[in-house]
Structures are given as structure tokens and as C-alpha cells.
Structure 1
Amino acid sequence: MKSIIVAPDSFKESLTATQVADAIAEGILAVNQNIEVIKLPIADGGEGTLDALSGLIPCTKIPSLVTDALGLPMHNHFLLASNQRIAMIEVAQSCGLAQIAPNQRDPMQATSYGVGQQMELAIELGVDEIVLALGGSATNDCGAGLLQALGARYRDKNGQEILVSGGNLCQIKSIDISELNPRLAKTKITLLCDVTNPLFGKAGASHTFGSQKGASAQQIDILENNIQHFAVLLDAKFGKPLSNIEGAGAAGGIPAVLIAICNAQLTSGIDYILERSEFSTHLQNADLVITGEGKIDTQSVDGKALSGVAKQAMKAGVPVIALAGSVTCDVNSLNKIGITAAFSICNQPLTLEQAFKDTSENLKRTAENVTRLLLC
């Protein structure tokens, strides 16, 4: 074995994709220093996308002071490509679940306003394109807050302006975009997505993701009605039917306003990352790919990072080993997308806290064992 590509996603709440790749590489090289290890940390458009892109594209961090999903001030950043006029923004960092304690999550009050603040700053810097990574949102406001930060005005039946959130979209009777930043219309918007859920319906934003964002069953019904109400307003004003667009339900419906007003384009997050990492080129000389994520489950085989890696490797005839904290997906499902075998890195019963603490060492040990097995 001469060459191994190490292309993992992050292990959420434990290690970034870059740290995971470093740990796996250390385990491989502990067995044989002569193996070429190509580290390509990945993401699928959700949490960790900026980390992955920062290792693939020469770029600069642009600091920004924005509001989080619940309207509290927070220091943040986005990336500005050094040789291109492209800004890269991650929703998970601007209005993400990770910034809010589980007992404080409230999609009725949450807003995507902070994402719009970052977009406004990027536009003022004169970028030609904004790449928006959608996953990990704590919001369910259909992107109305984002658009408000860019200059949109919403008014109720009495003509009073509304500060929008997921819980009050039904109060909006008119949308005024006359004060939108004029540069927005000239800016290409690319949306990196890791799901295919529509905007509303049983598979839509509210019913699929509302509970993990803190919504009760009753609130999910309210959020669903609110999104449908807002979608009707968008369709009437901009002539863009949104009900059947795959992926429009990502990030609490953020794609909806950007598709309706900016002709934003949805694309697979993992495909975008793999293209920029020149993954297909590296596969030509690779003997093995090692990938991984915190938990391998049924979602892993449907548009997520692991499935994107495995499918490309399978086309190239390169075997794939996956490592994870836990593996709950049926092995046959993994084989079908190109994953040869999957291993849990935990070798004894552990609390979640201990598993997070020991992730790096467990990755090194498992990668070393896998490498010894393959070389024997």
C-alpha cells in the first residue's frame, strides 16, 4: 500500500475535520512512515464547512460582530478567498444550534438575521459571489430575518413594521424590498446543501427539523403554517413557486427568500467541497480512502459527506474504510454506496463525555489497527 487518502468530516462537539484527519494520519504513519497520506478534510455544507474550505482555498478570515439566532451579539467571521472575489459564510456559525444550549433553543423566536448581516458586510467588500453553507441552523424563519438584515421591510395588517422570527411570519401582510442593498442583485449566491427536503409538508423544514431545534408538536404546526403563509407572499410578489424545490427546506427555509429574490442556486455541499479538493484527481493514485464522522447512521448514506466520498471512490475502484464514534447503519446500505467496512473507534463502554474527550486517541488507535490489518 503506497497511498491513502484521509477524507473525514468533523466529529461534532469533539474534533474538527482537520483534527480528525490529523489523528487518523498519525495512526497510519505509526505503522509505516513510507505510506503517502493525503489529508483532505471535508464537509457537506453543514457545520465545519468553513474549516474544510479554509484548508483547500487560500483565504482570509473576516471578523464580524453579528447577532446569534436569539438576537444576542456575538463575534464571528467568514472567509474571503484571496485570489477570487468570493465570500464564504457558514449558517451554523451565524445562527446555529451549536451556539445555543439545548434548553434555550426556540425556533419560534429564532432569526436568521445574523446571516444577513454577514452577507451585507461581504457585499460591501465588493465580492462577486457569496457561498452560503446552510446546515446546522437553529432557525425556522424561511430566511425572512436574513433578508431583513439586507434591507427588507415587513408590515402587518396595520402597516406597522415587524421584526421577524419563525413564530410571527403569519403576521406579515406585505414585503417591501425597495431598500435592499442594490449590489445584492449583482451578486451570485451559491447555496451549499446537505438535504433534499422541500420547504413545507411532512418532509419539510418544520416537520423534519423543528423538534431538534426545540419546537413542541404544537409549535411545529404553527411554524409549518407560518412558512406556508410566507411562501405564498413570496410567490405572489416574485413569481417563484417554492413548494416543490428540493433543498428549499434546508436551514429552516433560508433558500426560499434567496431563490425567490436573488435566483440563488442550490448545490450539493459535499460535491462542492470534493471538487475544490481535487478529490477525483487524488483518487487516480490512491490505494485506499479512510473517511469518517461522529455517527454513521441512515442519514450518512443520503447526500451527506460520507456518501459523497464513497460514491466517487467506488467509481474509481478505490476501497473505503469509515471510522465513527458509533455505527448504527446497516452494513449492506454502506456497501451499496461504496463503503467497504465501517468501524466504531470506541473499544469499551464510555459515557458521551468520555467519548468526546478520547476521540483523538481512539481515532489514532483504530487507524493504526486498520492499517496493520490491511498490510498483514
Structure 2
Amino acid sequence: MRGKTIHQGAMFSYVSLEDRIPKNHPLRQLRLLVDAVLASMDKEFEAAYAQTGRPSVPPERLLKAMLLQILFTIRSERLLVESIDYNLLYRWFVGLAIDDPVWDHSTFSANRERLFNEGLARVFFERVKGLADWRRLTSSEYFSVDGTLIDAWASHKSFRPKDGDGPRPPGRNPEVDFKGRSRANDTHVSTTDPEARLFKKAEGTASRLCHMSHVLMENRNGLVVDVATTLATGKAERQAALKLLARHAKRGATVGADKGYDTADFVAGCRRLGVTPHVARKKTGSAIDGRTTRHAGYQTSLKVRKRIEEAFGWLKTVAGLRKTRLIGQAKLAGQALLCFAAYNLVRIGSLSGWWDAQHV
């Protein structure tokens, strides 16, 4: 018999969020891990807040909401808050009851410098990495390193001479022709994001205003062990890579990298740290000789290092960080750390079997 559509709502409804979420849903395991990490950050949260005043939105809920935005590719904080309001899964994940009101989207902006700065984001990232270390999912001997460009929240029209010379086009969004004009970071600066740099990573590609993010990956399971955000310059990748290696690599470790790292300064820097540079060789003028390439581990490192592109691909497609929506390197540094922490959580879930079809 055909069912009838009934528009009259029930007078009472008893909804248990815990019952609505499937017992084998992968976010159950993820929430357990995230709650454990956030519980270990209690001292850091206490230090970030005053002891008096009105109670704020719990920082644990805000951080878990940011993880939802990254994991489910939610394009804005306004849409994130709207989704939490009506999505029972999201409400359950952040810890809201069915009748609890959701905070305003401006709460994220108000807490940006307090909660989503590089300091607290790095603590969260390190605690997530500590979970992977505890599960023996990481390697302390074999690494890969690479950098990627993150488009700045600034247009080419904002890249203007530092001395203020030159015509200023009238109107809010004027037509501008850059043909024949010389523009360089030494003489020009973005009026929207002064820390953005006009840069291109390879010949034949378009220059764009951007920042640079660098990643050190361990080779056993492709987990990210450290992240750095810098200005986009020609030497930034190699300089940041040496700093990351100095923080994590022990003597005798190896590091895989692409041809952009095949320079005398980077190879010498690795050898000073006691790290063997497994760098892809240039056709001419290579700083890598037969002492390195003759070993079987060299070819293995070159093959495994390509896995780092999976992290960058996830960062730009799923996490939505192809172009940052924030202004300045400091805010981007915190954003990148949260995104790569989420990536590591996804990798831990994959290695633990949470995302298998039978668990969804």
C-alpha cells in the first residue's frame, strides 16, 4: 500500500545522538584519538585563556570543528557552523547535544590568534605524531622532503610598487594589463598580503603570489613528521629541509628528494648532519656522486619519496589549502599544521583499517 506523506510533526521527540551514529562508523575511532590528544593539551588551553570573565566556547569543540572542516572539505566557517547545526554526525563529533545552540561563525575569527596559531597547532600536530610513534608506525631512519606553493589570498592587482609610484587603476575591480611591465619582489609588494611573494617553481609555469609549505615525511608509512611555512624564495626549500632534518634525523639516516635539492649546499648540509642525501641527480652538474648512487637504498628512496606528493595532493584537494583564505605567514603556518595533523589521523586510520568498506 502506498504510504502517505504526513506533514504534522510529533509533539515530543526523543533523539539520542549516540544511537544515531553507527557503531562501526570510522569517526568513532577518530573521535577517541582526537579526544585523547585534546585532553593532553589541557595545560596549553588553560594558559591561553584568562581566569576571569565570561565562559567561552570550549576550545576542544572549536578544534574538532576545524577538523571536520578539513576532513569534509567544507569551504567556509559560516557553512561549517550551519552544517554542525543540522548534521547530527557533526554535532556528535564536536560534543554538542541535540538541543545545544551552535556558536556564531565569527567565533573562529575571534579565537584565531589564541587557538589556531602556530604554537598550539604544533602542539596538536606533535601529539598526533606521538600517537603514530606509540603505535610504531613511523621510521626514524628514512625520510623524504619536499615543498609546495600555497596561493596567497591576494590578487596580482594588489602587487604594486613599494615606493607608491605608478598609476593606480580607478574602480573596485579595474582592468589591468601587466604586459611589458617589470615586476619583482625587490621593488613590489602586495597591498593585501605583504608577506606573499611572486614566485614560480618551474620554467614555463605562471608566476603567482604565494607562500611555501615544506614537509618532512618518514618513509615507512608516509606519515608527516614535521612541517614548516616560509616565504616563497629560490633557496627556501633547501634551507627549510635542513632545519627539519636537524630537528628529527639522526646520524646515519637517509633523505630522499627531487632534483631541486641537487645542489652543493644542500648535499654538504646533509653530510654535516650525518644524513645521506638520496637526491635525484641532475643530468649535468650533479652534486651526487657514485658513493651514494651505488647503493640499493638510493633507488628505493627515489621511489618512495614520490609518496610525499600524496600528502600535498590531499592538502590541496580534501583539506582545501590550494589557496589559503587567511592573510599572513603566521596564520598559514597554523592552518598548515592542523591540515597535516588531520592527514596523519587519516593515515593512521587507513593503517588501522578504519576506512575499509565494511566499516563505513
State the TM-score, normalizing by the size of structure 1: 0.24
- By relative contact order (CA 8 Å, sep 6+), the higher-ranking structure is 2
Bigger Rg over Cα: 2
Q: Given the two structures, how large is their TM-score scaled by the length of structure 2? A: 0.25
